[in-house]
Amino acid sequence: MAVPRSEYLSNVWADGIFANRVLFITGGAGSICSAQTRALVHLGANACIIGRSVEKTEAAAKQIALVRPGSKVIGIGGVDVRNFDLLKAAADRCVSELGAIDYVIAGAAGNFIAPISSLSPNAFKTVIDIDTLGTYNTIKATIPHLVASAKGNPRSPSRFLSISATFHYTGMPLQAHVSAAKAAVDSLMGSLALEYGPLGVTANSLAPGAIAGTEGMQRLASSELTAEESAAGIPSGRWGTVRDIADATVFLMSDAGGYVNGTTMVVDGAGWRRQGGVAVGLDTGMEYPGFLLRGEISKNLKDGRKEAKL
């Protein structure tokens, strides 16, 4: 059964705006990336979703394809974004089976709660490798196809979109690894926009805030907090939804976003403006800097450090 449109896409978008276009997305089986893919497929695109787990990726592809009769969604599992050769093979397969790559989303990421005092060099390197190196490898594997697409569609630029974060804007306790990785990702988008804008490719970052129901927030926000407590530090008064991110993605990929290049779109309800109020890794009553001085971190978080990450 297909996921209802209301969960991943607003009613403001016209059907068919992405007809005959192809999306290549890493981490495509994840909660945010699958919503982005559903939105573009619903509006006419076909897609290749890339992930480490063969079973999970192929199952997600079949489920996403249900949003539009006649859509083609290919799940390519067994691909670690840290391995360029595997990514290149996936990109080449996507073009062989679907005819092109017009849009790319680099969404594969890894995260967990850790203070610097207990963050090992290997753990830090792992997040840099997945987020930063993985994004670079995705660029290298897909950019020739994006340039080819742009040549064939001179009035509609190809798109490269990375999924970033906002922690590095102000700094965030317990997130030094992700802050460093995403700062580098944002910098990559600036260089990509400068080098490939003249060839018809736009490059931007999309930075979600706290998004309800996602794997990421299960690892960052205590399950003991109520929704009201969790959202207390967000000026808009709520966590975001995957639809908020999917709608922003549709805008950036559409003709309406064709002149947006080399920048970051923040979709977080202004949460980054007062990140000290966001309860990353905290329970009720745990306030900065006391929790750090006492060495306290919430034990009510999903621990994904021993799990394979896309």
Q: pLDDT tens digit string along 140-176? A: 999 999 999 999 887 788 999 999 999 999 999 999 9
Name the pLDDT band for 218 (thresholds 50, 70, 90). low
Per-residue buried b or exposed e for 30-66, using 16+ beta carbons within 10 Å of the residue's own CB: bbbbbbbbbbbbbbbbbbbbbbbbeebbbebbebbbe
CA distance 243 to 86: 30
pLDDT > 60? residue 212: yes
Torsion of CA 143, 149, 155, 161, to 10 degrees: -40
Residue 182 bears catalytic tag: yes
Question: What percent of the chain has a predicted confidence (pLDDT) above 90?
Answer: 74
List the beta bridge partners of residue 106.
26, 162
Whole-angstrom distance between the N-terminal and C-terminal Cα of the chain? 25
Q: Check if the beta carbon of residue 182 is closer than 8 Å to that of residue 164.
A: yes
Name the pLDDT band for 310 (thresholds 50, 70, 90). very low
Instruction: Provide the 10 A C-beta neighbour count for residue 122.
Output: 7
Rounded mean pLDDT, 16-42: 97
CA distance 124 to 122: 5
Rounded mean pLDDT, 168-197: 96
Rounded mean pLDDT, 204-219: 82
How many residues are given for the chain? 310
At 63, list the tokens.
Answer: 């489920």
Rounded mean pLDDT, 2-24: 95
Rounded mean pLDDT, 106-119: 92
Rounded mean pLDDT, 243-263: 97
pLDDT > 80? residue 121: yes
CA distance 131 to 180: 10
CA distance 120 to 45: 42
Q: Check if the beta carbon of residue 42 is closer than 8 Å to that of residue 70.
A: no
Active-site option among 34, 149, 158, 164: 164
Rounded mean pLDDT, 10-22: 96
Q: Check if the beta carbon of residue 106 is closer than 8 Å to that of residue 146.
A: no
CA distance 34 to 242: 9
Span 14-293 CATH architecture: 3-Layer(aba) Sandwich (3.40)
Rounded mean pLDDT, 245-257: 97
